[in-house]
Structure 1
Amino acid sequence: MLRLLFALILFALPATAQEDVADLSPLPGWEVHATDHDFNTLVQRTRDAIGAHGLAVVTQAGPTGAAARRGIEIPGNRVIGAFNNHFAVRLLRQSTEAMIHAPIRFYVTENADGTATLSYIAPSTLLSPYETAADVASELDDVFAAIAQDAVAR
């Protein structure tokens, strides 16, 4: 009888557990752009804008799919690393240590209301410890701002 009761309780549990995750809040040095786009749309628009502004998507990662395979439901969450060899070579010439921050990442998060937010730490903030990289950082600030503007536009 105890086994039957345990089995009934087990099957009554939801197939996936939903985890509470807070919407992203701006932090110092971050650029945060709330949008009306859904998560998948904003991810694709960000990828498209990265290419349109001369960078390449170098990395992508996010816990959403792996969590779902474990039976845990979390909001959409994707980190997209963007860079190109032109900036890499220039940055290396100015500061070998600064390359630890390449690729520089965009962060797309799904909000509780189904919209998505595009965020990134300004390249000048990331590269501020490396004074010799200031000109590359400033140029990357402009490129990242243009990418974000295109990605979040209606």
Structure 2
Amino acid sequence: MSFKRLTIAFLLAAVPASAGSIAPRDGWAVHQTSKPYEELILDVKAAAKAEGLNVVTQAGPTGAAASRGITIPGNRVIGLFNNEFAVKILALSTAAMIEAPVRMYVTEEDDGSATLSYKLPSHVLAPYADEGGAELAGLADQLDRRFALIAEQAQK
């Protein structure tokens, strides 16, 4: 590799990778906060527990990128669900369970604050309405309310 290519590769690796803030979009809730990234993650987890949902999964590329020498803003996906919803949804639509757990997304902004966003559970489960009918829509609405309460509590 030439010196020029090596220099460019080094400079690109040193530049923080970011696609910017999450913009409002159809079927999503996006909450800009003044909280630091790590604090918002902890507060989402605590609020989820208070609303009867469990943290089922967590994933984010930030740490792995850092181990490769790449700096990116904090980025964490937190999957939330519980067995009560799982059993009820499975009774209505086996296919709908591919969407569990429903996820919240915490992203770090350039100023150090964090944004909490998520697809509304009713939006996530809408493709299964033909199978699950009004009962599935009702469960999705219950999840919408819990997610809204989690977001509200986590932002305080």
Determine if the TM-score, normalized by the shorter chain, exceeds 0.5: yes
> Counterpart of 1:137?
140
The Cα shift of 1:134 comes to: 0.7
Mapped partners of 2:54, 2:18: distance in 1 = 33
User: Aligned pair 1:53/2:51, yes or no?
Assistant: yes
> Counterpart of 1:90?
88
Mapped partners of 1:17, 1:128: distance in 2 = 39
Tell me the TM-score normalised to structure 1 length: 0.88
Mapped partners of 1:103, 1:22: distance in 2 = 25
Structure 2 gap segments, 5+ residues each? none
RMSD: 1.6
The Cα shift of 1:26 comes to: 1.4
The alignment partner of 1:28 has SS state of coil
Flag as ranges the 4+ runs of structure 1 deviating above 3 A.
Answer: 13-17
Identity %: 53
CA contact (8 A) 1:38 1:110 kept: yes
Deviations 1:114-152 (A, max 9, x none): 110000000000111122211110111111111111001
Code of the residue aligned with 2:64 in structure 1: it is: A
Mapped partners of 1:83, 1:18: distance in 2 = 33
Mapped partners of 1:20, 1:148: distance in 2 = 24
Count of residue pairs brought into register by the alignment: 144
Tell me the TM-score normalised to structure 2 length: 0.87
CA contact (8 A) 2:17 2:71 kept: yes
With 17-26 and 103-112 compared, the bigger mean Cα shift is at 17-26
The Cα shift of 1:72 comes to: 0.5
